[in-house]
Structure 1
Amino acid sequence: MVACALLEPDIPQNAGAIIRLGACLGVSVHIVHPCGFVLTDRHLRRAGMDYLDRATICEHRDWPAFQAWRTAAGRRLVALSTHGRIALHDFAFAPSDVLLLGRESAGLPLPVQQSADAVLRIPLAAGNRSLNVAVAAGIAVAEALRQIGDLPRP
């Protein structure tokens, strides 16, 4: 099943919104530490509301630990970056993909992007820099689930 991973998130409200997204769409959310907040932060809980208890959250102590898990699990790493060369809608997603999003303040470091199997971008109207990380996660997760036919049905 597609998963979403947050590399060293630094805004608890965005992490809470992404965890809520994961709960609503049935996607696990991986938190790669260190975070800029504790996971019990009131802002995270407020954004995630009661969905936090419904979410599957996996924590990794750091980037090497996350990479070790991903490699052992045979999961493909699909990074999202404003510097991505492949448009999100032109990429063929697979059920084992892990969608990686960077810190709100800095994005994904180049070495992390280079370790990804693919680096995607969400096309934006001319003159715009980037989307909020939670919005980007929602767009990317929905597209991945749509492609593999795994969107939840009412």
Structure 2
Amino acid sequence: MDERAEHDETPEPAEAQLEVGVGPWPGGRAAWPDDARLDPELLELGDRRNVVDEFRYWRLEAIVAELDRRRHPFEVAVENWQHDLNIGSIVRSANAFLAARVHIVGRRRWNRRGAMVTDRYQHVEHHPSIDELAADARARGLTIVAVDNVPGSVGVDDYAFPPASLLLFGQEGPGLSSEAIAAADAVVAIPQFGSTRSINAAAAAAIVMHAWIREHTR
């Protein structure tokens, strides 16, 4: 390894920051479309939100309603005992893959920074304990699939995800609690080939969500 490259702290040249989104609707108020889904304030001032182009200028409530019409039947749950910074990123991935719900287990407060405001478009519920999460899942016919590289786990590529799955993730470091493993109907793990024991929790969640997507959607 080039030690100079590893320790080089020379700052990168400043680059012009790219504008995100779109400006005010062209043509002013007289040209505004007659569409109840659109937000007059966004039409007037522009829409710089982190949304796909299809939803530019749409009201928040209209976006959520449209997403609800399309949502996939899988759900995501994550344990929150240590205020893990990855939870926000997991919520963001759940939004990207259009999960029906996200469940936060344990502490009610969670770090939203990594969500990049996608939690506004995602149904997020809280459960004080794994037992309460499991009872809710079973009442609605969900199969609880825990994700952790523990003895007896099945490789994620070898597991057939039920359509109505609840994908259960642990925290960075400790992984899933023993209560979560015991409550699961199946435990899957992501095959790894390097020296590290585990991969980042948010990255693991994205991989497993996409595994469900590959199996059940086109």
The answer on whether the counterparts of 1:23 and 1:56 sit within 8 Å (CA) in structure 2 is no
2:143 is aligned to 76
The answer on whether the counterparts of 2:134 and 2:144 sit within 8 Å (CA) in structure 1 is no
Q: Give CA-to-partner distance per residue, 1:33-84, whole Å, 9 cap, x none.
A: 136xx23xxxx33211121211121111222211110111111010111115
TM-score (norm 1): 0.85
Q: Which structure 2 residues correspond to residues 12-27 of structure 1 after superposition, within 5 A? A: 12-27=84-99
Q: Which consecutive residues of structure 2, in runs of 5 or more, have no partner in the other structure? A: 1-72
The answer on whether the counterparts of 1:10 and 1:105 sit within 8 Å (CA) in structure 2 is no
Q: Which consecutive residues of structure 1, in runs of 5 or more, have no partner in the other structure? A: none
TM-score (norm 2): 0.61
Deviation, 1:131, is 0.8
1:8 is aligned to 80
* Percent identity of paired positions between Structure 1 and Structure 2: 30
Question: Following TM superposition, where does structure 1 have runs of at least 4 consecutive aligned residues deviating by more than 4 angstroms?
Answer: none
- Structure number with higher helix proportion: 1
1:139 aligns with 2:207: yes
* Rg (Cα) greater in structure: 2
Number of residue pairs the alignment of both structures matches: 144
2:117 is aligned to 50
Larger relative CO (CA 8 A, sep 6+): 1 or 2? 1
Deviation, 1:11, is 4.0
Q: Give CA-to-partner distance per residue, 1:74-97, whole Å, 9 cap, x none.
A: 110101111152100000012111
